[in-house]
A and B are shown apart, each in its own frame.
Chain A
Amino acid sequence: MAAEQKFTPQTWPESPEQATLEGKNKFLGFWFFLGGETVLFASLFATYLALKDSVPSDTHAKAADLFELPLVFLMTMLLLTSSLTSVFAMYHMKNYSFKKMQQWLFITVVLGLGFLACEIYEFYHYYHAFEHKFTSSAFGSAFYTLVGFHGGHVVFGLSWIIALMIRNAKRGLNLYNAPKFYLASLYWHFIDVVWVFIFTVVYLMGMVG
């Protein structure tokens, strides 16, 4: 079974990401990887909750002083929407319509970049308006580490999707790269789910006090 065999929408299998043994292995392995990532983020959340508002003196900003709903809400919307657009992309991947998949992935990337821009602005704002730094307090360290790890995942996810789009722009879909697209999208959903928790635990709970 040649990996670069050409398909038509009719011959394209039902679950292209799992049509080959390699694909099946990747699919399962990636789920395990996400399981490990879940524990990683759980540890970071635990750290954040333990060190929340733990600052050396009262002059340092606390969670209730920092967070503002509008910006965070915008970020949440951007990321949630991008998750939806990546679902559309995978829908088209399964229908063997490569162009539409690329288009939806492009929208996903744009939304992701928008999220990233907001996050960079957010950090910049905390840093300059509140002197809330990575090195100023345990709270700062825990906040930037948790949210920053998520941001790092966003950067990695975007780079991954972009690399796949460019790499396969001219070759179209086959059973070798279909699992790759699928996993990148799975990763993107994971990032989105983590953000929902960050939004709740860090921002909403932070604003309540």
Chain B
Amino acid sequence: MSTIAHAQKRGFTGTIWEYLTTVDHKKIAILYLLAGGFFFIVGGIEAMMIRIQLAVPNNDFVSAGLFNEIITMHGTTMIFLAAMPLLFAFMNAVMPLQIGARDVAFPFVNALGFWLFFFGGVFLNLSWFLGGAPDAGWTSYASLSLASEGHGIDFYALGLQISGFGTLMGGINFLVTIINMRAPGMTYMRMPLFTWTTFVASALILFAFPPLTVGLFMLIFDRMFGSGFFDVAMGGNTIIWEHFFWIFGHPEVYILVLPAFGIFSEIFPTFARKRLFGYSSMVFATVLIGFLGFMVWAHHMFTTGLGPVANAIFAVATMAIAVPTGIKIFNWILTIWGGSIKFTVPMLYAVAFIPSFVMGGVTGVMQAAAPADYQFHDSYFIVAHFHYVIVGGIVLGLLGGAHFYWPLMFGTMLSEKLGKITFVLFLVGFHLTFFIQHFLGLMGMPRRVWTFLEGQGLATGNLISSIGAAFMALGIIVLLVNIVITQKKNIQVGRDPWEDGRTLEWAIPSPVPFYNFKQLPLVRGLDPFWIEKMEGKTDMTPAEPVGDIHMPNNSFVPFVISLGLFVAAFGAMYHADEGKDWAIPVLIIGMLITFGAMLYRSVKDDHGYHIHKEDLLDEAEGGTR
């Protein structure tokens, strides 16, 4: 039987099984997109509930306790379960193709990373149905998170721990892929910016997640196993949590925003038909931002009482980050300067991103001035600032990226018309929601308040903000309609659908073959596909003759390893409750499933299989494209 035919044509259950066991980066990308998209909608619904509650003074749409659960889950879901996996979706879908690789370095680990994230996310969200969600904010500061009753915080700590392992593995996988798997001629300084930002973000993941892991372990131990890290009565100290959380939390901002920068750095040159201005300084700025990202965590703790010396040092260090960020902004503007701009939907998002993100950036510098931050901190000014960064930077990047890479992932093109409607609704809603929140904060409205009283001058601003949120929700609904219609019609658009693709991913046939490249391409410079096109060629020059291609086997083991931790987490969580003797056995069974599956993986030889040269040649003759 042909090894190629073997990998195609299956029924519905076959498809499900294929996705449960897949180790193909393109399918894992779709899994990340689906799961991340689902959690994005969940987080969005939570956001809408927040804005409904705060639309008018003294509202009682939700109760005070429930409100705290909603804000906690909104933040946690959006950061860990929506933004990160959606970016991982694009990294998986695009990065290996951009560097001319047949697959990622560790296909198995790639699948494991997804399933760990997925089970962690599901575990966290099950809290809604099992006695209440976490309610100490996404930062979960230790004194409150220890005092919080019920199992909400346990769900938070265990769920993030599981999904955090997945993220860490994903990061290592991308790092090795980029270092070891580049096509001939793809030197570091010829890598597309999205690959570069993936690289730097992955390095940040590698060094930023372990402190969170340690912090979460301490929280788990304190809450479930009687230790005293954060218990002052036992000699503990809650500030340790704050440090670890932000040593992770600040780089996390860059983990999210750098890949979004990368997406924009691909969109601008494509639709301006002009190469990225100042490529090498863009790379330099990316690396510098990543590096400085680790030096500034304490600016989240200016009011903790670290003393003037620490505050002054971290204030100045924080300001320094503005410089490389500024370099990037100006380079983007100079990229479109002198270009030939076509306003497709992805380009609209990229264009809207510049002023939106600059707004978020400059308020960030304002907060770096520590004494001014004593006023901004934990007020709605902060809420406005980080939404300008996260929505104005990351979410616009995700939406632009979704439209841009949709043809690459699914072979179809989202409707430009509906896309533009989404864009306008979302952008208008975004500025309407968050611009005014700067002023609410300055007018004395603390963040994370369940309600506010009349007569404090806060009512108008909050109402405007809530109206804006409705616009954003409408925009997302139109996007969903767009996706359904597009996939229903299923009009395949073929290769290089934007016509101005510059990088390797657009040189591949559409839909992308499961082995990516029949022959690895020879890369002759930055924007390799563009170079070939300018010389009148339609294809990349191959760097090797057609030969056998080695492929990894599918595996159900990643699913099982993740499931084991999911089961064990229930045991860990309930063991301290009275009358729940089943908890410890469940904990042990879960760990046995995980370690058993790991042992199975380690002991069973799995050499993968080969696609034979003859089959590849046959397929070419068949002319299926």
Contacts and interface: CB of A to CB of B under 8 A. Distances in A.
Interface of A: 2-4, 21, 24-25, 28-29, 32-33, 35-37, 39-40, 43-44, 47, 50-51, 54-56, 134-142, 145, 160, 163-164, 167, 176, 180
Given A37-B210, A39-B207, A145-B227, A139 B235 contact: yes
Given A21-B180, A36-B172, A141-B234, 8 more contacts: A2-B607, A25-B176, A32-B172, A36-B206, A51-B235, A137-B234, A145-B221, A176-B607
Contacts of B222: 141
A98 B161 CA distance: 39
B247 to A, nearest CB: 8
Contacts of B210: 36-37, 39-40, 43
A24 B106 CA distance: 11
A139 B106 CA distance: 40
A145 B176 contact: no
Contacts of B225: 134-135
B561 to A, nearest CB: 15
B240 A167 contact: no
Nearest to A50: B240
A93 B398 CA distance: 48
Contacts of A142: 229
B240 A47 contact: yes
A51 B222 CA distance: 14
Contact of B226 (A28, A39, A135): A135
Which residue, A3, A28, A29, has most C-beta atoms of chain B within 10 A?
A29
Nearest to A38: B210
Interface in B215-230: 215, 217-218, 221-222, 225-229
Contacts of B607: 2-4, 176
A56 B232 CA distance: 8
B168 interface: yes
Interface residues of B, number: 42
21 contacts: A24-B180, A29-B176, A33-B172, A35-B207, A39-B206, A39-B207, A43-B211, A47-B240, A51-B235, A54-B235, A54-B236, A135-B225, A136-B228, A137-B228, A138-B237, A140-B228, A141-B234, A141-B236, A163-B599, A167-B602, A176-B605
B311 interface: no
Contacts of A40: 210-211, 213-214
Contacts of A134: 221, 225-227
Interface string B220-263: 01100111110101111100100010010000000000000000
Which residue, B175, B207, B227, has most C-beta atoms of chain A within 10 A?
B227
A50 B237 contact: yes
Nearest to A35: B206
Nearest to B177: A25
Contacts of A145: 217-218, 221, 227, 229
A51 B239 CA distance: 11
A77 B443 CA distance: 64
Which residue, B215, B233, B236, B603, has most C-beta atoms of chain A within 10 A?
B236
Nearest to B222: A141
A43 B214 contact: yes
Nearest to B607: A3
B235 A138 contact: yes
Nearest to A133: B226
A29 B104 CA distance: 12
A130 B456 CA distance: 58
A51 B206 CA distance: 26
Interface of B: 105-106, 109, 168, 172-173, 175-176, 179-181, 206-207, 209-211, 213-215, 217-218, 221-222, 225-229, 231, 233-237, 240, 244, 247, 599, 602-603, 605, 607
A36 B237 contact: no
Contacts of A24: 180
A64 to B, nearest CB: 16
Which residue, A33, A39, A164, has most C-beta atoms of chain B within 10 A?
A39
A139 B235 CA distance: 7
Contact of B234 (A35, A50, A138, A163): A138
A134 B180 CA distance: 44
Given A36-B206, A141-B229, A43 B244 contact: yes
A130 B505 CA distance: 64
A32 B229 contact: no
A202 B189 CA distance: 45
A44 B210 CA distance: 10
Nearest to A142: B229
A163 B236 CA distance: 40
Contacts of B236: 51, 54, 138, 141
A36 B228 CA distance: 25
A24 B179 CA distance: 10
Which residue, B206, B210, B225, B602, has most C-beta atoms of chain A within 10 A?
B210
Contacts of B213: 40, 43
A164 to B, nearest CB: 8
A137 B240 CA distance: 15
Q: What are the 5 closest A-B residue pairs judged by CB atoms, nearest first? A: A141-B227, A54-B235, A138-B235, A40-B210, A135-B226
A2 B610 CA distance: 11
A36 B168 contact: yes
A182 B63 CA distance: 57
Contacts of B106: 25, 29
Contacts of A136: 228, 234
A55 B235 contact: yes
Given A43-B244, A51-B236, A28 B214 contact: no
Nearest to B168: A36
A40 B206 CA distance: 10
Nearest to A24: B180
A3 B229 CA distance: 49
Contacts of A37: 210
A160 B218 CA distance: 26
A138 B228 contact: yes
A63 B537 CA distance: 73
Contact of A51 (B215, B229, B599): B229
A56 B237 contact: no
Contacts of A44: 214
A136 B173 CA distance: 40
A141 to B, nearest CB: 4
Nearest to A164: B602
A28 B599 contact: no
Given A36-B172, A36-B207, A167-B602, A141 B221 contact: yes
Which residue, A40, A136, A137, A138, has most C-beta atoms of chain B within 10 A?
A138
Contacts of A54: 235-237
Given A44-B214, A56-B235, A138-B231, A29 B105 contact: yes
A135 B231 CA distance: 11
